């Protein structure tokens, strides 16, 4: 399990007070988390700074950060040209307090980024210079995953959960052949797979979920959860535990990225998920495709 920091930054679901952010980072390290996922765009760089402070005396934790969002313009724009990437990596290194970034991901690039070798060559130069150790992409685009792997991407970050697994399944063979590391994000589908929303749930201003689903879409998603309730039995005590266990049960997944917004949320989730390695019973995994298909979920 890995600690994600988008929600913690305040960008995704509304503001989070700095003392709470610091406590979550501290508690994750106390509990044994060894990978933290962040980005230079989260909190306009503030999240990288907080991660850097939390890891000031730790060299045993893998840091994954992302770049490619130019926030000096309004609205922000995507940039992956060589001069911008070099500057972005330098800024991230300073904020994180690290001479070498363990994993540097292009943040939602289009396939056009790979039309020439400029971006990849820059990343390879940064590796050679010891400024990044590994590179990859964070994307929801199957085409971008395949192109990036052909260019040698070492890590792919992609949405993967019980209700949104089709894209991952489409590139599973590519990932297997490439031997790339996989970070699965959106493991709880932005909170939906916690399993306690009503179909009439409303979201506050500043919460991206207010724009993610229309009212009918949200109602349909909540209804689909009924098809997953059979996963909650035995030592799988909650639907959210089943959701994380589903991701961890996939042998291609290197880490399931969790996005708690408080230390209490983090503790509860880790406690419920348990230590594995038997994350999900074979019988439940075998029944799952039919249950999802019957509920209208693309698999």
Residues with a catalytic annotation lie at: 42
Q: Which two tokens stand for residue 146?
A: 């395949």
Q: Which two tokens stand for residue 175?
A: 């990932």
Contact of 160 with 187, CB cutoff 8 Å = yes
What's the rounded Cα separation, in Å, for the pair 15 and 5? 13
């Amino acid at each position: 399990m890995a600690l994600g920091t988008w929600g913690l930054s305040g960008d995704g679901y509304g503001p989070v007070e700095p003392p709470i952010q610091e406590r979550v980072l501290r508690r994750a390290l106390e509990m044994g988390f060894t990978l933290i996922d962040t980005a230079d765009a989260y909190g306009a760089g503030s999240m990288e700074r907080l991660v850097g402070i939390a890891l000031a005396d730790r060299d045993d934790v893998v840091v994954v950060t992302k770049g490619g969002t130019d926030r000096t313009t309004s609205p922000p724009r995507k940039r992956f040209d060589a001069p911008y990437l070099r500057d972005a990596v330098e800024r991230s290194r300073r904020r994180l307090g690290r001479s070498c970034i363990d994993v540097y991901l292009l943040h939602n690039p289009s396939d056009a980024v790979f039309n020439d070798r400029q971006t990849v060559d820059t990343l390879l130069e940064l590796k050679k210079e010891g400024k990044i150790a590994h590179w990859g992409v964070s994307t929801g685009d199957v085409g971008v995953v395949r192109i990036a792997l052909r260019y040698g991407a070492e890590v792919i970050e992609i949405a993967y959960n019980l209700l949104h697994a089709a894209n991952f399944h489409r590139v599973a063979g590519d990932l297997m052949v490439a031997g790339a590391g996989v970070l699965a994000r959106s493991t709880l589908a932005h909170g939906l797979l916690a399993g306690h929303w009503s179909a009439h749930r409303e979201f506050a201003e500043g919460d991206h979920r207010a724009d993610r689903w229309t009212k009918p879409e949200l109602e349909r998603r909540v209804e689909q959860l009924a098809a997953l309730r059979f996963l909650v039995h035995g030592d799988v005590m909650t639907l959210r535990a089943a959701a994380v266990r589903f991701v961890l049960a996939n042998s291609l997944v290197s880490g399931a990225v969790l996005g708690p917004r408080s230390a209490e949320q983090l503790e509860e989730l880790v406690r419920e998920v348990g230590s594995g390695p038997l994350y999900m019973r074979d019988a439940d995994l075998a029944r799952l495709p039919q249950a999802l298909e019957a509920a209208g979920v693309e698999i």
